[in-house]
Amino acid sequence: MTTTALPDSDPSAAARLDALDRIGEIGYPTRRDEAWRYAPHRQLGELSFGPPVEVTRAVPDLDARIPELGGPRIVIVNGLVDLNRSDLAAPDGLHVSTLADTLAERPEQVTTHFERSGDEITDAYLAVNIAFGNDGAVIDVADGVTVDVPIHIVDVEVPDTTANASCTGVVVHLGRGSSATVVETHLGVGRVFGGSNIRTTAELDDDATLEHVLLQDVPDTQIHLSRVDVTQGRRSTFRARSFNLGAAYGRVAYDVLLAGEGAHADMSGLYFGFGDQVLDQQVTVVHAAKDCTSRQSYRGVLDDSSTGVFNGGIDVRPGADGTDAEQSNDNLLLSNRAEVNTQPRLEILADEVACKHGATVGQLDETAMYYMRSRGIAADEARRLLINGFADQVVDDVGIAAVRTWLTHRLGHDHE
């Protein structure tokens, strides 16, 4: 791992330097760290995370590769917003800006994104992102406003031959009683080694509703780290939909804090691996207030020699009485070389708590195959229908038709 000097100083510079110092204390994760057990540490060490690097190859037309959502859009290439490809125009009550501009003009708006206490910086890649991820998107929705169009954040990694890896930041704030949908599409260009490290901080005030869709589809020559930290106020609703599809190592991590009474987190996701891919979901929901509900429902389909990881935590803090939490993880293994590692982590320190969790790992249902074939459907087609049927139950959870269409195409396209 090589790091270069910090970019221009800004008001968050102190916090960012502290984060770099923290790496010295905690070191980089290893296989012994539960949350990083399946990460490719050697390759991660070869990546050069740092400030944005110049794009040295042509970036192809992105429109063909992303869902067409029709709303505001911020495109980030190698850690820098590309204004030519972006459209910041937003309806009343929604403010969309770049993270770099916000740091320069209204740094207080992104304080919580950068200023983390030492204890909160639990791993070096978070520290790296705090240190170098000084551009990206900032979304702010005013109290009581319902934003009808999805806000699209497109993060593109274009590695050259230096194993460069970008850091990007996304900050979302939803005012009291507001609602919005944010779609993050993470892509890459080219067939060379590289990486990306994108971190989203979302704050939901009381009674706000956020639907957050994450589409991870970088090339399998790259390593991708996504992290989403959410803090929820009273009676707020966070809906997370993640589709972890690309990358040699694709990691999607959520840390959701139910801080206000009656908050609700509804999270689902799909990971669909081929070749030697490792697709890693790290989900933690912390119940820190009374009467909150959370649902985690993750599905994996793993073909060839791919590996799936689901590490799902429910953490019920003292006093969080009336907690209602459920977690499920279902996996379909299509090859005898494919592997899945599923682990629930439950820590319950409150009373009157309802917690359920369950995990399944199975193969294609032979009886269902026979049933379909007895109806004249050829074995290959029956197999495809069964796999799609399993995956579509997550796709159907997405509210935006354009995203469902994109996913159907992406999933159908790849295993035909």
Partner 1 sequence: MLHVKNLTAAIGDKQILKGLDLDVGDGEVHAIMGPNGSGKSTFAHALAGRDGYEIAGEATLDGADLLDMEPEERAAAGVFMGFQYPVEIPGVNNMYFLRTALNSVRKARGETEVGARNFLQIAHEAMELVDMNEDFLNRAVNAGFSGGEKKRNEILQMAVMQPRLAILDETDSGLDIDALRVIAGGVNALRGPDRSMIVITHYQRLLDYIKPDFVHVLVGGRIVESGDYTLALHLEDHGYADFVNTDLNDAPERPLTGAPS
Instruction: State which residue, 78 or 268, has the beta carbon closest to partner 1.
Output: 268
Total residues at the site for partner 1 (CB under 8 A)? 23
Figure out which of the listed residues 84, 117, 161, 367 binds partner 1, where binding follows CB under 8 A: 367
- Minimal distance, residue 341 CB to partner 1, in Å: 24
Specify the 3-state DSSP secondary structure of 334.
coil
Figure out which of the listed residues 371, 409, 412, 414 binds partner 1, where binding follows CB under 8 A: 371
| 109 SS3 class | helix
365: contact with partner 1 by CB under 8 A: yes
Give CA–CA dist 228/254, Å, rounded.
5
Query: Does residue 364 interact with partner 1 by CB under 8 A?
Result: no
- Please identify, using beta-carbon distances, which residue of 106 and 295 lies nearer to partner 1: 295
**Least distance to partner 1 from the beta carbon of 395, Å?**
9
Question: Shortest CA distance to 208 belongs to which of 180, 183, 228?
Answer: 180
If one asks whether residue 24 binds partner 1 (CB under 8 A), the answer comes out as no
Work out how close the CB of 374 gets to partner 1 at its nearest, in angstroms, rounded to a whole number: 5
Sign of CA dihedral 220, 363, 270, 33: negative
- Phi/psi at 24 (5° precision): -60, -35
* Cα separation, 71 vs 129, whole angstroms: 27
- Closer CB to partner 1, 132 or 272, in the complex: 272
Cβ distance to partner 1 smaller for residue 348 or 361? 361
Q: Please, how many CA atoms are within 13 Å of residue 83, restricted to the half-sphere of its CB?
A: 7
By CB under 8 A, which span of 129-137, 207-215, 283-291, 362-370 interacts with partner 1? Answer: 362-370
Are 214 and 85 within 8 A, CB to CB? no
Provide DSSP, 32-63.
TSGGGTTS-HHHHHH-EE-S-----SPPPPSG
Q: Which stretch binds partner 1 (CB under 8 A): 94-102, 122-130, 246-254, 364-372?
A: 364-372
Say which DSSP state 85 is in.
G
Beta strand pairing call for 209-216 and 179-188: parallel
Distance in angstroms (rounded) separating the CA atoms of residues 352 and 269: 28
Q: How far is CA 85 from the centre of its chain?
A: 22
Q: Which is nearer to partner 1, 290 or 373 (CB)?
A: 373
State both tokens at 199: 């971190």
Using the 8-state DSSP alphabet, how is residue 150 labeled?
P
Q: Which residues contact 392 (CB under 8 A, 6 or more apart)?
A: 408
- Sites for partner 1 among residues 373-392 (CB under 8 A): 373-379, 381, 385-386, 388-392
> By C-beta, is 353 or 377 nearer to partner 1?
377
Of positions 356, 363, 370, 409, contacts partner 1 by CB under 8 A = 370
CA 118 to chain centre: 23
* Residue closer to partner 1 (CB basis): 101 or 365: 365
Least Å from the CB of residue 382 to partner 1: 8
Q: Among 165, 258, 372, 407, which residue interacts with partner 1 (rule: CB under 8 A)?
A: 372
Looking at beta carbons only, is 24 or 376 nearer to partner 1?
Answer: 376
* Residues 305-334, mask of contacts with partner 1 (x by CB under 8 A): ------------------------------
Q: Which of residues 368, 402, 408, 415 is near partner 1 by CB under 8 A?
A: 368
Contact between 127 and 23 under an 8 Å Cβ cutoff? The reply is yes
- How many CB atoms within 10 Å of residue 337? 13
* Spatial CA neighbour of 258 closest among 309, 182, 319: 319
Closest CB 295 distance from partner 1, rounded Å = 18
Strand pairing class (151-157; 73-77)? parallel
**Residue closer to partner 1 (CB basis): 202 or 270:** 270
**Which residues of the chain form contacts with partner 1 (CB under 8 A)?**
365-368, 370-379, 381, 385-386, 388-393
